[in-house]
Amino acid sequence: MAMTDSEFHQLADEIFSQIENAVEYAIDEQDADVDVDASGGVLQIEFADGSKIVINKQEPLHQIWLATRFGGYHYNYVDGQWIDDRSGEQFNQVVQNAITKQSGLIIKF
């Protein structure tokens, strides 16, 4: 059965909140210079060197898109997880790795 728009937004908002909380916790624990901004279906994480990670909702496709310094990724919700539509990698792992590579900040969620 196809996902509804409201189901998509609920799932996407949950993962955005998890990321935001994990980054905020890591900032406090590791005394990092990182800015987190969530608005209008977009979550931006900006690091001390000016680089960013941008995560946004693509409602028409029911996808989450991730842009990092290392590439762009598109995720579909499959069997309870956000999975990259090309590599099959899990969203959480890719985000954690990208944040660490771009900033040295270690997050867990």
Alpha helix stretches (DSSP H) within 1-109 = 5-30, 91-103
Whose CA is closest to 55, among 4, 106, 14, 88?
14
Q: In this predicted structure, what is the pLDDT of residue 28?
A: 87
The per-residue pLDDT for range 29-72, each reduced to its tens digit, is 888 889 999 998 999 999 999 999 999 999 999 999 999 999 99
- Give the predicted TM-score (pTM) of the model: 0.92
Decide which of 3.30.450.20, 3.30.1280.10, 3.30.920.10, 3.30.465.10 is the CATH code for 5-103. Answer: 3.30.920.10
Residue 1, pLDDT > 70, answer no
- Token output for 49: 């060197």
Secondary-structure percent of the chain, ordered helix, strand, coil, rounded to 5:
40, 35, 25
> What are the sequence ranges of the domains in the chain?
5-103
Residue 107, pLDDT > 70, answer yes
Average pLDDT, integer, range 97-101: 94
